[in-house]
């Protein structure tokens, strides 16, 4: 039986699922998120590695060292190029960061905070949420 939350890449080759309701949901304006997503910010959330199940596809992992100096693996669908999740996060062991847009039904999941607001571009209005200049500590 499928888990509570299901997600997939743009072409549907890579599919994964998890049960736990996302708690740490962040809009991140950092430079890495800008570069990796191609947008002004990225919205993602943490899922416990134990709860994260890949059900189809073979995501391609690119190892990357973030501005923080910590390593991570960015996982893309090799078929459509969609960025789906980030794993092996040196800064957050035991967590997989899932890109919000990969969810089949993202409507019920809203950000809880904004981070790296010092990198937010002037045309973006802050959300009515806790604001962190850098990484929340």
Residues that bind Zn ion (CB under 5 A): 9, 11, 13, 28, 30, 33, 77, 79-80
Nearer of residues 1 and 38 to Zn ion, judged by Cβ: 38
Beta carbon of residue 108, minimum distance to Zn ion (angstroms, whole number): 23
Minimum distance of Zn ion from residue 15's CB (angstroms):
9
> 76 — phi, psi (to 5°)?
-120, 155
Q: From the CB of 70, what's the least distance to Zn ion, in Å? A: 12
Q: Which is nearer to Zn ion, 19 or 126 (CB)?
A: 126
Containing 31, the helix (H) or strand (E) segment is: helix 31-37
Residue 50: phi, psi to the nearest 5? -65, -30
Instruction: Show the tokens assigned to 28.
Output: 């991140």
Shortest Å distance, C-beta 50 to Zn ion: 24
Which CB sits closer to Zn ion, 13 or 51?
Answer: 13
Q: Which residues contact 119 (CB under 8 A, 6 or more apart)?
A: 29, 30, 31, 34
């Amino acid at each position: 039986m499928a888990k509570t939350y299901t997600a997939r890449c743009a072409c549907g080759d890579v599919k994964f699922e998890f049960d736990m309701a996302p708690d740490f949901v962040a809009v991140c304006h950092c430079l890495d998120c800008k570069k990796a997503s191609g947008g002004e910010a990225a919205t993602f959330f943490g899922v416990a590695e134990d709860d994260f199940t890949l059900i189809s596809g073979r995501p391609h992992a690119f190892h990357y060292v973030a501005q923080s100096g910590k390593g991570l693996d960015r996982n893309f669908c090799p078929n459509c190029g969609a960025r789906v999740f980030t794993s092996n996060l040196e800064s957050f062991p035991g967590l997989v960061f899932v890109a919000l847009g990969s969810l089949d039904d993202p409507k019920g999941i809203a950000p809880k905070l904004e981070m790296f607001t010092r990198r937010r571009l002037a045309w973006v209005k802050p959300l009515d949420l806790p604001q962190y200049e850098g990484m929340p500590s």
